[in-house]
């Protein structure tokens, strides 16, 4: 019931964080800043918060950035921060998808660690180029597949790795939402606008936005590698340019099967991300909206409800747990875990020390896998729904 090893960093010990995107009217920028702040590991000191220089500066003022670190654009910021002795330790990239690539490249090129939103890029070629660059530069690159930061997701992963489920046979993922049930993009709503626009989102709509989260979660937890997929992408809302619903069948290496259903047109579903994994010895079930619970169902025994911080919760969940069982943690805490884990890697790199093997966050490799998944889905669906080797 204590919060082991989670002491505040304290002033002067915090990492310096910059941000690109996330200015006025954005949703995810505020989430990233709060997540960075939660465990007192980062101090937000610099930004190029909008693609429009004026809005960028105005947003920075609003957030209290010092004038000399409130930049009109990301290129200027990368150059200036690289030159400063007290330059940022990492940049958070929270722009629409199409900008992830150029921004990440700019900061990697000047030697700055990156924390980037998903999907990594809008094309496979770009994703591979970033992967290459990260390896060359030896920098830390985190991709905010934030659901893998939830304690009970880590618990699930640990249990499967330990063999509690036996050999995995089935992985069922789903992520229904309802916010695009109507043509919201035609009202000018900012989120709907860019997320349904191929020029800014890439070729995947729903599948790129939340299908990729589901896929990352499924593979992170199960430890399986995808072999083939078959996708049926649909745009239900008339006039919509990208898919708002995705059914995907999965064949994993080694013979496991599964499916992913992601939808933005399923009324009554807010963020219904759910993962179920079944093996020869038992099953697991986790739901994002109620993230402090993990159902564990050993075959032939009563179902068990493992709770975050409670009896049965193991080490990998414990190290990302802040409060006692029965006091719920949520989305922001899970998100913050990615930031705090990345901070450990960034400090280790800075200090030339080894990263603790328990540090776990999605990297550029996971980012690449996500882009490959989206591209394969689009390809399969365009071909009429055929099996594709990934």
Interacting residues with a copy of itself between 227 and 266 (CB under 8 A): 230, 232, 234, 236, 245, 247, 249, 251, 257-259, 261, 263, 265-266
Among 71, 141, 220, 278, binds a copy of itself (CB under 8 A): 278
Q: Which lies closer to a copy of itself via its Cβ, residue 219 or residue 297?
A: 297
Stretch that binds a copy of itself, among 103-111, 116-124, 151-159, 381-389 (CB under 8 A): 381-389
- In whole angstroms, the minimum distance from the beta carbon of 330 to a copy of itself comes to 4
d(CA 367, CA 372): 9
- In whole angstroms, the minimum distance from the beta carbon of 1 to a copy of itself comes to 7
- In whole angstroms, the minimum distance from the beta carbon of 309 to a copy of itself comes to 8
d(CA 314, CA 163): 14
Q: Count the site residues for a copy of itself by CB under 8 A.
A: 106
Residue 339: φ, ψ to 5°: -60, -40
Which of positions 356-375 make contact with a copy of itself (CB under 8 A)?
none
**Does the footprint of a copy of itself cover residue 188 (CB under 8 A)?**
no
Cis (ω within 30 of 0) for the bond into 119? yes
- In whole angstroms, the minimum distance from the beta carbon of 364 to a copy of itself comes to 25
Among 125, 161, 199, 305, binds a copy of itself (CB under 8 A): 305
Give me the helix-helix angle, 364-382 and 212-222, nearest 10°: 120
CB 195 within 8 A of CB 201: yes
Q: Which lies closer to a copy of itself via its Cβ, residue 53 or residue 330?
A: 330
Which of positions 77-136 make contact with a copy of itself (CB under 8 A)?
none
Q: Which lies closer to a copy of itself via its Cβ, residue 100 or residue 195?
A: 195
- In whole angstroms, the minimum distance from the beta carbon of 188 to a copy of itself comes to 13
Structure tokens at 50: 């909008």
Tally Cβ neighbours within 10 Å of residue 80: 18
- In whole angstroms, the minimum distance from the beta carbon of 137 to a copy of itself comes to 30
**Does the footprint of a copy of itself cover residue 55 (CB under 8 A)?**
no
Stretch that binds a copy of itself, among 7-15, 49-57, 75-83, 104-112 (CB under 8 A): 7-15
**Does the footprint of a copy of itself cover residue 378 (CB under 8 A)?**
no
The residues, any chain, with a CB within 8 Å of residue 347's CB and separated by 6 or more, are 15, 353
d(CA 338, CA 333): 9
Q: Which lies closer to a copy of itself via its Cβ, residue 253 or residue 257?
A: 257
CB 171 within 8 A of CB 224: yes
Among 105, 128, 281, 379, binds a copy of itself (CB under 8 A): 281
- In whole angstroms, the minimum distance from the beta carbon of 235 to a copy of itself comes to 11
Any idea what DSSP says for residue 205?
S
d(CA 305, CA 155): 12
- In whole angstroms, the minimum distance from the beta carbon of 35 to a copy of itself comes to 10
CB 48 within 8 A of CB 55: no
Distances (CA, A) of 285 to 73, 185, 224, 272, 311: 44, 34, 17, 13, 17
**Does the footprint of a copy of itself cover residue 215 (CB under 8 A)?**
no
Q: Which lies closer to a copy of itself via its Cβ, residue 282 or residue 367?
A: 282
Sheet bearing 226-234, strands edge to edge? 293-298, 282-287, 274-279, 168-176, 257-263, 245-252, 226-234, 388-389
CB 333 within 8 A of CB 37: no
Which of positions 308-347 make contact with a copy of itself (CB under 8 A)?
309-312, 322-333
Which of positions 157-186 make contact with a copy of itself (CB under 8 A)?
165, 169-170, 172, 177-179, 181-182
The residues, any chain, with a CB within 8 Å of residue 167's CB and separated by 6 or more, are 279, 280
- In whole angstroms, the minimum distance from the beta carbon of 121 to a copy of itself comes to 25
The contact pattern for a copy of itself, residues 59-78, with x = CB under 8 A and - = no contact, is: ---xxxxx------------
CB 101 within 8 A of CB 130: yes
d(CA 289, CA 274): 9
Selection from 42, 34, 38, 52 nearest residue 88 by Cα: 42
**Does the footprint of a copy of itself cover residue 213 (CB under 8 A)?**
no
- In whole angstroms, the minimum distance from the beta carbon of 62 to a copy of itself comes to 6
């Amino acid at each position: 019931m204590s919060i082991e090893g989670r002491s505040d960093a304290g002033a002067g010990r915090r990492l310096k964080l910059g941000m690109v995107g996330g200015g006025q009217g954005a949703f995810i920028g505020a989430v990233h800043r709060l997540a960075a702040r939660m465990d007192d590991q980062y101090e937000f000191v610099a930004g190029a918060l909008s693609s429009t220089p004026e809005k960028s500066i105005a947003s920075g003022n609003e957030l209290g950035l010092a004038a000399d670190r409130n930049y009109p654009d990301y290129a200027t910021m990368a150059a200036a921060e690289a030159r400063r002795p007290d330059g940022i330790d990492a940049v958070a990239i929270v722009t629409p998808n199409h900008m992830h690539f150029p921004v990440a490249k700019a900061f990697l090129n000047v030697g700055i660690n990156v924390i980037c939103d998903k999907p990594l890029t809008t094309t496979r070629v770009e994703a591979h180029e970033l992967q290459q660059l990260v390896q060359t530069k030896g920098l830390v690159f985190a991709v905010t597949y934030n659901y893998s930061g939830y304690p009970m997701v880590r618990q699930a992963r640990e249990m499967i790795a330990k063999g509690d489920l036996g050999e995995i046979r089935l992985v069922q993922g789903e992520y229904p939402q309802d916010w695009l049930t109507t043509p919201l993009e035609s009202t000018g709503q900012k989120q709907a606008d860019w997320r349904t626009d191929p020029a800014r989102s890439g070729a995947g709509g729903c599948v790129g936005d939340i299908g990729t989260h589901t896929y990352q979660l499924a593979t992170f937890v199960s430890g399986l590698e995808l072999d083939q997929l078959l996708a049926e992408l649909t745009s239900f809302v008339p006039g919509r340019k990208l898919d708002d619903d995705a059914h995907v069948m999965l064949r994993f290496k080694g013979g496991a099967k599964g499916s992913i259903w992601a939808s933005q047109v399923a009324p009554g579903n807010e963020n219904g991300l759910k993962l179920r994994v079944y093996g020869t010895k038992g099953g697991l079930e986790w739901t994002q909206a109620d993230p402090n619970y993990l159902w564990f169902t050993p075959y032939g025994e009563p179902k068990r409800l493992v709770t975050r911080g409670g009896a049965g919760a193991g080490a990998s969940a414990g190290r990302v747990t802040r409060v006692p069982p029965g006091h719920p943690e949520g989305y922001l805490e899970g998100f913050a875990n990615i930031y705090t884990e990345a901070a450990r890697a960034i400090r280790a790199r800075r200090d030339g020390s080894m990263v603790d093997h328990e540090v776990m966050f999605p990297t550029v490799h996971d980012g690449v896998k996500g882009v490959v998944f989206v591209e394969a889905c689009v390809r399969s669906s365009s071909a009429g729904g055929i099996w594709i080797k990934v």
